Amino acid sequence: MRATLIHGPGDIRVETVPDPVLSTGRDAIVRVVAACVCGSDLWPYRGVTPTREPRRIGHEFVGVVEAVGDAVERVRPGDFVIAPFYVCDGTCANCRNGVSTSCLHGGWWGSADREGGFADGAQGERVRVPLADGTLAVVPGPVADDEVPGLLTLSDVMGTGHHAAVSAGVGPGDAVAVVGDGAVGLCAVIAAKRLGATTIIAMSRHPERQALAREFGATHVVAERGDAGIEAVREVTGGLGADRVLECVGTKESMDQAIRSARPGGMVGYVGVPNGGPELPVRRLFETNVGVNGGVAPVRGYIEELLPDVRSGAIRPGLVFDLELPLEDAAEAYAAMDDRRAVKVLLRP
């Protein structure tokens, strides 16, 4: 089959790789209907994180189950499924505590699982899914083709934006500021509105992303950053700062922006993958009673909650995909996101 590999910085290739095979009884083979490129895929693409040898890449996909192992009970061939960006069993203590990203038996796409099999990367024609019953969320059929982009966001970005809002404790009437205008930040706007926020400030400098943020429910846009950005958030919120701030970037600058945009007693929900060394200013947090909560989003646990709103069109996170390419053009997909010509690229095998 064909699948995407990263060979090094700026070097994405679609190559022929071995077909996946069932090996543990608890696994499934899924034919990928759509996959996509994540902002975090750009870290190795840019050389920020090293690529020591060519490896499979991609961790977001939806597809149709082709085959299941003998011990799989919940997932059947023909099911349309959403895979979260990681493997989990759904039954261990950490999964039951709502932290399926810390599953005691889990793993990551594009690497070996714990039982000697291989979990394929998502940017390919097929994926072997370990622990299929825990990992995969079944979408009751039939699934229309125009539903695919929205469903694919439940793999990562919509669930991650939702996790930022949940971690910050967003509730009815809140004033929320969102730091970051990538796909996760835009989905965080959707999540804040869905949870009842009435003032939503999108911090973005890009006209197209500002427009999408407004379509998703942002009531204000702040283009400034640093002290000017914090001042603008205060102006919107009656001089205090935002009740809740959703940090969706992961840099030192964005975390600083988020913490200083919160009102005394406010809460920051952070989901940006930390790169470039953000650290918490504990003294400042102490003096202001601002809290920081969040982390890698356990999106598997959010799929069933968000799915009805995606299917009904009540929320439309699929609009974050502004470019669709065939899988064979994966290299161009990365280049388009790296150049910020595209917010998020959907790949069709």
133 binds Zn ion (CB under 5 A): no
Span from 98-106, 114-122, 166-174, 239-247 in contact with Zn ion (CB under 5 A) = 98-106
Q: CA-CA distance, 33 to 38, in Å (whole number)?
A: 17
Span from 54-62, 88-96, 116-124, 231-239 in contact with Zn ion (CB under 5 A) = 88-96
267 binds Zn ion (CB under 5 A): no
At CA 212, angle to CA 207 and CA 215, rounded to 5? 130
Which residue number, 90 or 272, has a Cβ lying nearer to Zn ion?
Answer: 90
103 binds Zn ion (CB under 5 A): yes
Task: Work out which of 38, 75, 82, 95 binds Zn ion, going by CB under 5 A.
Answer: 95
C-beta of residue 183 within 8 angstroms of C-beta of residue 344: yes
CB of 349 to Zn ion, least distance (A): 29
89 binds Zn ion (CB under 5 A): yes
113 binds Zn ion (CB under 5 A): no
Q: CA-CA distance, 214 to 223, in Å (whole number)?
A: 13
Task: Work out which of 1, 64, 67, 92 binds Zn ion, going by CB under 5 A.
Answer: 92
Which residue number, 149 or 298, has a Cβ lying nearer to Zn ion?
Answer: 298
Which residue number, 134 or 161, has a Cβ lying nearer to Zn ion?
Answer: 134
Pairing of strands 291-294, 262-270: parallel
Span from 68-76, 83-91, 199-207, 248-256 in contact with Zn ion (CB under 5 A) = 83-91
CA distances (Å), origin 78, targets 67, 74, 213, 327: 8, 12, 36, 22
CB of 81 to Zn ion, least distance (A): 18
Which residue number, 27 or 174, has a Cβ lying nearer to Zn ion?
Answer: 27
99 binds Zn ion (CB under 5 A): no
315 binds Zn ion (CB under 5 A): no
# binding residues, Zn ion (CB under 5 A): 5
Which residue number, 69 or 318, has a Cβ lying nearer to Zn ion?
Answer: 69
Span from 13-21, 82-90, 150-158, 209-217 in contact with Zn ion (CB under 5 A) = 82-90
Span from 61-69, 90-98, 298-306, 336-344 in contact with Zn ion (CB under 5 A) = 90-98
CB of 131 to Zn ion, least distance (A): 8
CB of 49 to Zn ion, least distance (A): 26
CB of 105 to Zn ion, least distance (A): 6
Report the candidate in 67, 68, 83, 78 with the shortest Cα–Cα distance to residue 151: 83
By the criterion CB under 5 A, which residues form the site for Zn ion?
A: 88-89, 92, 95, 103
